[in-house]
Structures are given as C-alpha cells and as structure tokens.
Structure 1
C-alpha cells in the first residue's frame, strides 16, 4: 500500500525550521513545488494538508533538508521513538535554526563574528528559559527575536573588538547589497530581512518587530526604495529575495556546537546567580553595619555659636580725671622691682 504524502511529512511545527535551516524562503519553496506562497505558509502552520503531486514534491524537499532527521521524525509519528529529553529537543531546535539564523544575523550586522555571537547568545537565553521556549507556538521565532535584538544592539559599537571593520564580501554585487543594507535604519533593516529574507508575511513581520501592520508595511516600502536607490537592479522584490538569499548563503558564520552553547548558558546562569547572591549578601551586611553603628537614642544637635548680648562696649580712650592722675603718680612713685613690691602697704 502506498503511503500518502501527508504521512511522509514531518509535523507542521518542524517544517518551517527545516526550511529555514536550508536557507530557503517561502517563495523559493513555493516556486520549486509549483504552488503559491500562501499554500506553503498554510502547510507550515498546519492549516492545510499537502496532497497530490505537490504534497509528494513537498515531502521530498523536506526529506532532503532533514536528511537523517527525517527517519527520526517518521519514527516519532509512528509512536515508536521515545520522548526527547530537554537537551535533545534543544539540540534539534539548534540544528534546525542556528545555521540560517547566523546568516540572517550577518545580513543585519555585516559582521561574521557578531552574527555568531548573536546566535550563541540567543540560544543560551533559550536554554536558560527552556520550559517557556519549548511550549511556545514558534520556538524558532522566539530565538530569532532574541538574536536580532542582540545583533542590532547599539552597545556593540563601544566594544574594542567591533570597532574595526571586517573584510567585506569578495563579490562586488554582494558588497553593494550589504552596504545598502547597513545604510538602512535598524528597524527598516530588520523588517526587510524578515519579509524579503526569511519569508514572513506582513502581520508576522509586524508582530516580531513590535509594530503595527501599517507601520511595518511603511518600513518595508521605504527600505526597498532605499536599497533600489543604491542598487537599481534590485528594484524588483523577487530579485531582492534572490539576492538576499545568495548573500546570506555566501557568508556562513559557523556557530558553536549545541553542547557548547548549553554549557555556556549554564555557566552564565551560575554566574548571574552567584552575582545576585553576592549582591544580596552585601546589602544585608551594609544594613547590619548601619544598625550596629547607628545611635540608640536621640541626641539634640549642638546649637551654633551666638554673640553675647548686653555687654557694654569698651570705653574709648580720653583724658584722665584728677583721681586717675593721682593714682598714676602714686604708682610711679612706688617701687617697681624686688620682693618688697609684693608686701601690701597701707594707703
């Protein structure tokens, strides 16, 4: 009995990851199979079931992208494979998304090392919050949003290792396209990469960029116009799709292996946990020292010095009276030295 195309397909939650891992957009998959872009999007979301020749072509395409993973997916569909551990599920998501995500981050930054760092950081955060990420409707989108935020952070310009430019692509056409991308504002660049590079539709692009759909459409239009002004042959959106994929495929930043990322995430978590504990201990110690050295009763402050009131002013010098003159003459006639001066004399 011949199996239907639907039975040969991986679950809908894995189809999009396989496409992104292969560096393909929805438009490219639709062109290869001979269907519309909306049909591919419906297949990836599970809203429609592939059938007929198109379904067989779609199953063959995903099997080629998955390779050995396709057999594991079929076994999982038949219920014979055991449940994946958190580490295995994380490694599977990393294998599907990390290569394509690194290429997308390169389109955003123009730096291979920064693109690799963005992917590593995003998956480290994902591993720290894996229960939340594993239950998300779109784990790949969750990780992609974190990677994009890290890649477009303005604080990288202050890092010494990122102040000097990296070697540009060897192809002049790739250099012109990358330069045009980097001239765009970060929000425009991100919208353009998500829509024309990754292949998201407009509502998904707006949601991931935290903008309204009209705002995302305006950013996309202005970004395309700016790129076309610098590279006129890219005025056609289909040609821009193709050139973005080619540029991303030409540069392949190599992210680390999943085990290294998980270990780095665990070390990062331990570091911040210890830092939080040390900060708490410092707060508790300073509070105890304050309580120990603080006064136990109220001591009124010493009043500032004030001038004494009611003292008569010193008398000014003037002529002596007769009595004062007589006293002065008497003092002059008295002895001025010797022990006799200490003996009182009758006046």
Structure 2
C-alpha cells in the first residue's frame, strides 16, 4: 500500500506573511483549522509542522490566501514615457495600405530609487511606533513614560542606524531598547514619575492593569511578548535574554498569578484579546518621525560637545601641572627628634621665705662686703 505524498507547505515566515496579507489573526486561523492558537503560532515559527488532514487543510488555506493576494495586487499601467512607439510608414505593395499603426516595441519599468536613511527610518517609525507605545503602556502603566521610552528607543536607533538598518529584525531591535528603557528602575527617583497616573476608567481594564503591574518586570515582559505581541517561546526567550525553560516558567507563573485574581483570563486566547483591548482603549500618540530624528541629533551633538569640553579641560589641567611641577628632587623636611638630657622647662613661680631671705643676704653682701679678689695675670 502506497502513501500519498505530504502536501507541500511554504516556509514558516511565508505562512505568517500570507496570514497577515489575508488580514487574519492567529485565533481566526485556529478556529478554521480546529486547533488552538498556540498550535498556529508553532506552525508559523517552524517549531512544529501539521500532519495528515490538518496539513492538507492548512495547505489549502495558505494556497487560497496566496491566490487572493495575487488577484488583489493592483496591476500598474506602464508610464507613457517608457513605451517606445514606432510609426509604420506606407510601403509600395500592390494591396492598399491602411493608415499608419502605432505598435509598442518594449515596456520597461523604471528602476525604483532606493530609500534614503531618513525615509527608511520614517517608514520603520510609522510602522512600529504606535504599537510600541501601547505595549510600553502595558509594561509601565504610565502614558508619558511609554511615549518617552519609544521616542528614546528610536533616537538610539537613529544614532546607530547603520547597524539597525542591516539587522534581521529592526522592529525587534527597537522594541528591546524601548522595553529596557521603560522597565529601568531609575525612573522611581524622577520627580515626575513618583505619583501614579489616573487608571483606566473601565473597571475590568483597571483590574487587569493592576494585576499586570503586580508582576515582576521580567514576568510582565515575557507575558506581554508571548501573549500580547504573539512571539514564539524561543523568540521571547532570546529577547528577554533568558533560556527557553526559564521563559516558559516565567510565562506559566505570570498566567497563574493573573488567573488567581481574574479567573476569566485563564484562557490564553481570552488573555490575548483583553490585552489587545486594554492597549487599544488608551489614545496614545507618538511624536512625528522628523521630531524624533531632530531631538536625537541634538542630543548626540550635546554629548559630543560635552565630551570635547571635558577632554579639553583634562588637557589644560595636565599642561598646567607639567609647567608648575618641580623639575628636580627636593628631599622632604625631616621630622623633629627629641633631644635627651635637656631639663624640662620650669615655669617661674613665687619664692619661698628661705629663698627670699637668701636673696636679701646676697644683695646686701655684694654692696657692703669686702672687695672682691681679682686674679692677676702671670
């Protein structure tokens, strides 16, 4: 008995691209296939591959999405300036010649000009910034901090644009920087972030945001990447700089902690929907791309000038020290040493009666006594 060959499937990244081109979510594809959302996510990340009837149904769905994308692509008319036309003139033939006919010879598409660095940066910012601001709000619960984190991440990306432009996932690069800035523990010392912001008006949204902020930062980030953004477990572990088992344990503990106070969110699909709704209810707007680029350039210029000024100050101080320093060795002044045999200094005090009497006798004897004997020289 021979087995039918397995239905060929496109690569995992192409599967995800076809789903997004058809405006379908992972939950919708899972409902059509009769599987869970985690299974569809595993198919799109390449961790698992469907088999049997699931494989055939999934292959048909992807084929239909590819055909729809091909049909819906607009066919652009070639511009008139690139269509070469030739005019057929009358030739001496016996039969009557018709009117001159314009025949297209060739159709050439003009080469597409490459994007400038500023245009590429603006395109990446327009694509990622709105979603990143909402994600940063779920991480911090602060609207201003969410905007600041995203703008700071894109400023760093603009400073290091040659590196970011050739990265395999520029959006993931910027997202990692934004998350790191948003979860920095130093924000607690800033006066503008010491007081909490007003919570969401809806009671359910307020409860979900409260439970999210109770989680440790690493658990909160893992939960948002996996259940909010939709990354795979391996990608989540790589972005959080953890091993795959550690990321899985963080995810399970985070889900359990939320399910204890919100039992209706024990289903991952329901949790994903509620996270999306909570992020969408807040009207968070990021700054314009030119503004972010200009602020980033000014910040870079400021720190560059500060570094130059500090270097000049160090050079000046070193030069002054070299000019004022002694040119030869000067031995240090020795420490004072104690001289033995010197009687201690006695403070002059009052004379006793015997001393006063002796002094008087000496004074009277020197004035009225016999002449002193003077030695004669030999």
State the TM bucket, normalised to the shorter chain. 0.7 to 0.9
Equivalence map 1:222-301=2 (5 Å):
222-301=253-332
Query: For 1:133, which of 150, 164, 175 is the aligned residue?
Result: 164
Tell me the equivalent position of 2:238: 207
Partner of 1:330: 365
Q: 1:150 aligns with which of 163, 175, 181?
A: 181
Q: Secondary structure at the match of 2:146?
A: helix
Larger of the two Rg values belongs to structure:
2
Distance in 1, Cα, partners of 2:200 & 2:280: 12
Q: How does 1:31-110 map to 2 (within 5 A)?
A: 31=30, 36-41=40-45, 51-56=62-67, 80-110=111-141
2:26 aligned with 1:27: yes
CA contact (8 A) 2:136 2:182 kept: yes
1:124 & 1:230 partners in 2: Cα distance?
Answer: 39
Cα gap change, 1:275 to 1:227, in 2 (>3 Å) = same
Q: Looking at both structures, which has the greater relative contact order when contacts are Cα pairs under 8 Å and sequence separation is at least 6?
A: 1
CA contact (8 A) 2:27 2:269 kept: no
Equivalent residue for 1:7? none
Give the paired residue count.
301
Deviation string, structure 1 residues 176-202 (Cα, Å, up to 9, x no partner): 100000000000000000000000101
Separation of aligned partners in 1, 2:140 and 2:276: 15
CA deviation after TM superposition for structure 1 residue 252, in Å: 3.2
Change (3 A) 1:128 1:332: same
CA shift for structure 1 position 314: 8.6
Cα-to-partner distance string for 1:290-319 (whole Å, 9 max, x where unaligned): 22222211111111222223446799x999
Deviation at 1:81, TM superposition (A): 2.2
CA contact (8 A) 2:220 2:254 kept: yes
2:216 to 169, 178, 185: 185
Stretches of structure 2 that go unaligned for 5 or more consecutive residues are 1-12, 47-58, 77-108
The separation in 1 between residues aligned to 2:203 and 2:253, in whole angstroms, is 24
Q: Which runs of 5+ in 1 are unaligned?
A: 1-10, 43-48, 72-77, 335-344
For 1:331 and 1:25, the matched residues in 2 are separated by: 134
Q: CA deviation at 1:52?
A: 1.8
* CA separation of 1:166 and 1:179: change in aligned 2, threshold 3 A: same
Q: What per-residue deviation string (whole Å, max 9, x for no partner) do you get for residues 36-83 of structure 1?
A: 3344446xxxxxx9952133467799x9xxxx9xx9xxxxxx874210
Within 2, Cα distance between the matches of 1:96 and 1:32?
Answer: 28
Distance 1:244 1:314, change over 3 A: closer
What is the SS of the residue equivalent to 2:366? helix
Q: Distance in 2 between matches of 1:169 and 1:312?
A: 90
Does the aligned pair in 1 maintain the 2:42–2:232 contact within 8 Å?
A: no
Question: 8 Å contact 1:30–1:40 — kept in the other structure?
Answer: no
Query: Deviation per CA, 1:196-237, whole angstroms, max 9, x where unpaired?
Result: 000010110000000011100110010111111121111111
TM-score scaled by length of structure 1: 0.76
Deviation at 1:105, TM superposition (A): 0.3
Shift of 1:32: 8.3
Q: 1:113 aligns with which of 144, 149, 153?
A: 144
Which TM-score applies when normalising by structure 2? 0.70
Q: CA deviation at 1:286?
A: 1.7
Aligned partners of 1:156 and 1:162 also within 8 Å? yes
Q: 1:25 to 1:231 in 2, by over 3 A?
A: farther
